[in-house]
Amino acid sequence: MRDDDGNTVQENIGHESAGHAEVGQEEAGLADVGHGGGSPDVEAAEPRDPEAGLATAEYAVATVAAVGFAGLLIAVLKSGVVKGLLEGIISSALSIG
- Residue type at 37 in one-letter notation: G
Query: To the nearest whole number, what is the mean pLDDT of the chain?
Result: 75
**What pLDDT does residue 59 have?**
94
Supply the pLDDT for residue 96.
75
Q: What is the pLDDT of residues 71-97, one digit of tens each?
A: 999 999 889 998 899 899 999 999 875
Please compute Rg for the chain using Cα positions. 36
Q: pLDDT means per 10 residues in the chain (97 residues)?
A: 69 51 53 53 74 86 97 92 91 84
Task: Break the chain into its structural domains and give their ranges.
Answer: 1-37, 54-95
Q: Give the CB-side neighbour count of residue 89, counting CA atoms within 13 A.
A: 6
CA distance 95 to 1: 97
